[in-house]
Amino acid sequence: MATIRLAGLSTICIMTAALLAPEAARACGPLIEVNYLETDGDVMTIRNRSEQAWALESLTFNMTTSRGSIIFDTVYGGPGSNAARDFYVISGNGKLLAPPLVEDGGSVMLMAFTDFGPGREIDFAIDLDDRMANSIMGNAYVTGEEIMGGEVSGKLRSPGGYEMDVRGVFNEKNVAHLTSPACV
């Protein structure tokens, strides 16, 4: 940081270029990454990519804001299309505190975690369907364009007990990067 004094005026601080580097946003807090893959059972991967010791405590998926009006299709014969699949863990070293809260045909899923620090991840499957009248590949298949805009928010905790909220939105590549609103 450089300091400049202007003729008796208060001190003005100028940030150095290092603080404006592309990685600056990550330096201010945690980074959670959520990837979606359309496949039989629709797979999502949650990764804690934080550089500091922030542990993921909870995530809320809100698909009401997605372009395709995405719903969770967990029960056969419900409001979803033909291939319902309830939530199940595929792999990973991230730990769920309890099974997620998700309603068949609902657009919101709540997940709680324990011991989900940096480097941890979890892969899980759950069927997602879109509600578009002219869906690109039919309602049973969700594409990047359809999941785009879906929101994921979370709560993290530092080893010192500080909490931080994070938020991200799925992009056209089926990825949501969750960071603190305070990060640029």
pLDDT of residue 137: 54
Q: Can you give the CATH number for the domain in which 158 is found?
A: 2.60.40
**Could you tell me the pLDDT band of residue 179, with boundaries at 50, 70 and 90?**
very high
Number of domains in the chain: 1
Q: Are residues 165 and 154 in contact, defined by beta-carbon separation less than 8 angstroms? A: yes
pLDDT of residue 135: 59
- Domain annotation covers residue 169: yes
- Domain annotation covers residue 12: no
pLDDT at residue 2 above 50? no
The residue among 113 and 29 whose pLDDT is bigger is 113
Can you spell out the DSSP letters for 14-82?
E--GGGGSTTHHHHTS--EEEEEE-STT-EEEEEE--SS--EEEEEEEEGGGSTT--EE--STTSSS-S
pLDDT of residue 124: 96
Query: Full-prediction pTM beyond 0.85?
Result: no
pLDDT at residue 133 above 80? no
Rg (CA), the chain: 20
Pair type for strands 175-178 and 32-37: antiparallel
pLDDT of residue 132: 61
- Joined together, the tokens standing for residue 98 give 């309890």
- Domain annotation covers residue 18: no
Residues in the chain: 184
Domain range holding 83? 30-178
Q: List pLDDT tens digits, range 66-94.
A: 988 888 888 887 776 677 888 999 999 99
- Domain annotation covers residue 119: yes
- Domain annotation covers residue 108: yes
Mean pLDDT over each residue of the chain, to the nearest integer = 80
Cα separations (Å) of 28 from 54, 123, 161? Answer: 11, 26, 17
Can you spell out the DSSP letters for 126-160?
--EE---TT-SS-TT---HHHHTT-EEEEEEE-TT
Give the list of residues 6+ apart from residue 78 with CB closer than 8 angstroms, or none: 84, 104, 105
**Could you tell me the pLDDT band of residue 151, with boundaries at 50, 70 and 90?**
very high
- Domain annotation covers residue 184: no
